[in-house]
Amino acid sequence: MNSAVFPIIVPLFFAILLMFAPTQRVYQKIVATIGILSTLSMSVFVLQKVHTDGAQVVTFGSWQAPFGITMVADSISTLFVTAASLVTLFIIWYSFTAIDREREGNYYYAVVLLMLVGVNGAFTTGDLFNLFVFFEVFLMASYLLSVLGGTKQQLKESLKYMFINVFASALFVIGVAMLYAVVGTLNMADISVRVTQLEQPAIVTAISVVLFIVFAFKAALFPFFFWLPSAYSAPPIPIMALFGALLTKVGVYSILRTYTLLFPLDTTFTHTLLMILGIATMVVGCIGALASWNVVKIIIYNIFIAVGLLIYSISLFNEESFAGMLYYTVHDMLIKAALFLLVGLLVYVTGTQQLRQMGGILTRYPTFAWTFFIAILCIAGIPPFSGFIGKMLIVKGGFASGHIAGSIWVLFSSLIVLWSMIRIFIYAFWSKEGRFETVPKPTYVKMLVPTVTLVALCVAYGIFSSVVWPYVQDGAKLLMDPTLYSQFVLKGVK
Amino acid sequence: MEFVMCAVIGFLFFAAVYLMLSRNVLRIILGTAILSHGAHLLILTMGGLGGEKPPVLQDGVKNAMMADPLPQALILTAIVISFGVTALLLVIGYRTYQTAKTDKIDDLKEDEFHE
Q: What is the pLDDT of residues A67-107, one digit of tens each?
A: 888 999 999 999 999 999 999 999 999 999 999 888 988 99
Residue A272 lies in a domain: yes
Residue B6 lies in a domain: yes
Q: How far apart are CA B75 and CA B45, in angstroms?
A: 11
Q: How far apart are CA A411 and CA B33, in angstroms?
A: 45
Strands A56-59 vs A70-73: parallel, antiparallel or unpaired = antiparallel
> Which residues in chain B have their CB less than 8 angstroms from residue A163's CB?
20, 28, 32, 89
> Which residues in chain B have their CB less than 8 angstroms from residue A166's CB?
32, 35-36, 82, 85, 89
Residue A293's closest chain B neighbor by CA?
B115
Rounded average pLDDT over A302-328: 94
Phi, psi of B62 (to 5 degrees): -95, 165
Q: Are B80 and B68 in contact (CB under 8 A)?
A: no
Phi, psi of B71 (to 5 degrees): -60, -35
Q: How far apart are CA A114 and CA A116, in angstroms?
A: 5
Q: What is the interface size between A and B, counted as CB pairs within 8 Å? A: 105
For residue B102, what pLDDT band results from cuts at 50, 70 and 90? confident
Q: What's the complex ipTM?
A: 0.93
Percentage of residues of chain A with pLDDT beyond 90: 76
> Which residues in chain B have their CB less than 8 angstroms from residue A181's CB?
46-48
How many domains are contained in chain A? Answer: 1
Beta-carbon separation of B115 and A230 below 8 A = no
> Which residues in chain A have their CB less than 8 angstroms from residue B45's CB?
177
Which of B32, B84, B105 comes nearest A167 by C-beta?
B32
For residue A215, what are the contacts with CB-CB under 8 A and spacing of at least 6?
Answer: A251, A252, A254, A255, A258
Residue B81 lies in a domain: yes
Residue B28 lies in a domain: yes
Domain of residue A424, residue span: 266-463
**Strand (E) or helix (H) holding A232:** helix A228-233
User: Does any CB of chain A come closer than 8 Å to the CB of residue B101?
Assistant: no
Q: At what angle do helices A75-98 and A248-257 cross, to 10 degrees?
A: 180
Which of B70, B89, B114 comes nearest A162 by C-beta?
B89
Residue B108 lies in a domain: no
Q: How far apart are CA A419 and CA B112, in angstroms?
A: 25
Q: What is the pLDDT of residues A130-166, one digit of tens each?
A: 999 999 999 999 999 999 988 999 999 999 999 999 9
Domain CATH for B19? 1.10.287
Closest by Cα among A398, A379, A214 to A316: A398
Residue B41 lies in a domain: yes
Residue A364 lies in a domain: yes
For residue B114, what pLDDT band results from cuts at 50, 70 and 90? very low
Distance in Å, alpha carbon of B23 to nearest chain A alpha carbon: 12
Phi, psi of A443 (to 5 degrees): -65, -45
Which of A139, A180, A297 comes nearest B47 by C-beta?
A180
> Which residues in chain A have their CB less than 8 angstroms from residue B43's CB?
173, 176-177, 180
Residue A243 lies in a domain: no
Q: How far apart are CA B44 and CA A180, in angstroms?
A: 10
Beta-carbon separation of B110 and A157 below 8 A = yes
Which of B42, B47, B111 comes nearest A153 by C-beta?
B111
Residue B90 lies in a domain: yes
- In A33-132, DSSP assigns E strands to 56-59, 70-73
Domain of residue B39, residue span: 2-49+67-101
pTM of the model: 0.94
Beta-carbon separation of B43 and A136 below 8 A = no
Q: Are A398 and A320 in contact (CB under 8 A)?
A: no
Rounded average pLDDT over B66-94: 91
Which one of B20, B82, B89, B96 would you mutate to disrupt binding with A, by most A Cβ within 10 Å of its Cβ? B96
Residue B109 lies in a domain: no
Statement: residue A62 has pLDDT above 60: yes
Which of A158, A159, A174 comes nearest B42 by C-beta?
A174
Radius of gyration of chain A (CA): 22
Distance in Å, alpha carbon of B66 to nearest chain A alpha carbon: 15
Q: How far apart are CA A286 and CA A309, in angstroms?
A: 12
Residue A384 lies in a domain: yes
Residue A129's closest chain B neighbor by CA?
B74
Q: How far apart are CA B94 and CA A72, in angstroms?
A: 41
Q: Are A447 and A344 in contact (CB under 8 A)?
A: yes
Beta-carbon separation of B36 and A230 below 8 A = no
> Which residues in chain A have their CB less than 8 angstroms from residue B110's CB?
156-157, 230
For residue A23, give the 3-state DSSP assignment.
coil
Closest by Cα among A455, A340, A435, A322 to A386: A455
Which of A132, A133, A150 comes nearest B95 by C-beta?
A150
Beta-carbon separation of A150 and B114 below 8 A = no
Which one of A138, A151, A156 would you mutate to disrupt binding with B, by most B Cβ within 10 Å of its Cβ? A156
Residue B62 lies in a domain: no
Residue A164's closest chain B neighbor by CA?
B32
pLDDT of residue B111: 64
> Which residues in chain A have their CB less than 8 angstroms from residue B88's CB?
140, 143, 162
pLDDT of residue B115: 43
Beta-carbon separation of A169 and B36 below 8 A = yes
Q: What is the pLDDT of residues A357-398, one digit of tens each?
A: 998 899 999 999 999 999 999 999 888 888 899 999 999 999
Rounded average pLDDT over A327-340: 95
How many domains are contained in chain B? Answer: 1
For residue A1, what pLDDT band results from cuts at 50, 70 and 90? low
Residue A106 lies in a domain: no
User: Does any CB of chain A come closer than 8 Å to the CB of residue B25?
Assistant: yes
User: Does any CB of chain A come closer than 8 Å to the CB of residue B34?
Assistant: no
Statement: residue B70 has pLDDT above 90: no
